[in-house]
Amino acid sequence: MKPVAANLLCASCRENYWQLIRQLGHVQLPALRSIMLRQARIGTPAHTPSRGNAPIPIDTHAQDLIADSEAWLAEQAGKIRAAYAGYDWRKAWFAIISNRRTILDMSTAADDYAALEHISRRNETALTPEEAMVIIGTCPQCGHQATSTPQADEWTCPHCKWQGGVQAIKATRDNKLWQLEYTGKPVEVARYLSKMDIHCTSDQIRQWLTRGKLHATPTKHKGEYVFNLGEITAMLDCHN
Ligand SMILES: [Zn+2]
Ligand SMILES: [Zn+2]
């Protein structure tokens, strides 16, 4: 068993923990529920089987996230007072919100915080539209493409469940950028890099080309080059 002291949270963890709790009931759960309900409605196969639209099943992924989030709330509420464990999620959340000190000073706070961080990260990923996700690299264990929300610092592989820090995955990816070429216009390579959370403007790229800082090869199409992605990120590193 862990000593109680190991479960004490520092001031900044207490603040983060409280933000996550607020966000869970205020933003994430309502949003997940609306996703689930919307998809359930679209997916009701009863009426228009002849229209040619295949019924979309209820989003079981959203359902799982909701179940995990609600279980976390019920568990914490139940620790405040046993009877609260039977509350629906909204009442459980209110009970937690109105007992800030009790929650933050709980002997299990560090473990509860870690569990909530995991839940919150999965929720955040599910609620982030595909186009806002960034490619951080590949899973070091199974090679699956690793995408995450731009602000994430931990990543869990959806395939093999490997877990690790985003910075390390990005570093591995960046080392391989020297082996990667991209053919296109400056604006296109800038857009491609932004998908990897590497940010430069097409103006910067054009300037580097003009000043001979990039050794991109022009193709026979006007304004188009073969870029080495490692060279672009190296230029960015020394300009940021
Ligand atoms: Zn801390
Ligand atoms: Zn993996």
pLDDT in tens, 183-239: 999 999 999 898 888 899 999 999 999 999 998 999 999 999 999 999 998 898 765
Tokens of 161: 């469940």
Q: What is the CA radius of gyration of the chain?
A: 23
Cα(18) to ligand 2 centroid in Å equals 31
Ligand 1 centroid to 151 CA: how many Å?
Answer: 19
Look at residue 228 in the predicted model and tell me its pLDDT.
94
Mean pLDDT of 169-173: 91
Other CB atoms within 10 A of residue 96 CB = 24
pLDDT (0 to 100) of residue 47: 46
Query: How do residues 113-136 score in pLDDT, each as one tens digit?
Result: 999 999 998 898 888 887 788 889
Those residues whose C-beta lies under 8 Å from the C-beta of residue 238, and which sit 6 or more positions away, are none
As a whole number, the mean pLDDT across the chain is 86
> In whole angstroms, how far apart are CA 120 and each of 18, 22, 51, 188?
12, 11, 38, 33
C-alpha closest to that of 72 among 48, 92, 45: 92
Q: How far is the CA of 16 from the centre of ligand 1 (A)?
A: 9
One DSSP character per residue, 95-162 reads HHHTTHHHHHT-TTHHHHHHHHHHHHHHHHHHHS-GGG-EEEEE-TTT--EEEE-TT-SEEE-TTT--
**14 alpha carbon to ligand 1 midpoint, in Å?**
7
Q: Tell me how far apart the alpha carbons of residues 236 and 232 are, in angstroms, rounded to a whole number.
A: 6
> Does residue 73 register a pLDDT over 90?
yes
Nearest ligand to residue 14 Cα: 1
pLDDT classification of 58: cutoffs 50, 70, 90: low
| pLDDT computed for residue 185 by the predictor | 94
Given a cut of 70, is residue 48 above it in pLDDT?
no
- Whether 5 has a pLDDT exceeding 80, the answer reads no
Helix orientation angle between 29-43 and 109-127, rounded to the nearest 10 degrees: 40
* Residue 49's pLDDT band (cuts 50, 70, 90): very low
Residue with more model confidence, 70 or 174: 70
Is a pLDDT exceeding 60 seen at residue 50? no
pLDDT above 70 for 56: no
Residue 180 is predicted with a pLDDT of: 87
Residue type (1 letter), 50: S
Nearest to 76 by CA among 17, 129, 133, 132: 17
- Taking residues 158-176, what's their average pLDDT? 91
The SS3 of residue 183 is: strand
Give me the phi and psi of 81, to 5 degrees please: -155, 130
**By percentage, how much of the chain surpasses pLDDT 70?**
87
1 CA distance to ligand 1 centroid (A)?
20
User: 237 CA to middle of ligand 1, Å?
Assistant: 30
Band (81; pLDDT cuts 50, 70, 90): very high
DSSP 52-103: SPPPPPP-HHHHHHHHHHHHHHHHHHHHH-GGGGGS-HHHHHHHHHTTHHHH
For residue 117, the ligand closest to its alpha carbon is 1
> Is the model more confident about 117 or about 59?
117
CA 237 remoteness from chain centre? 24
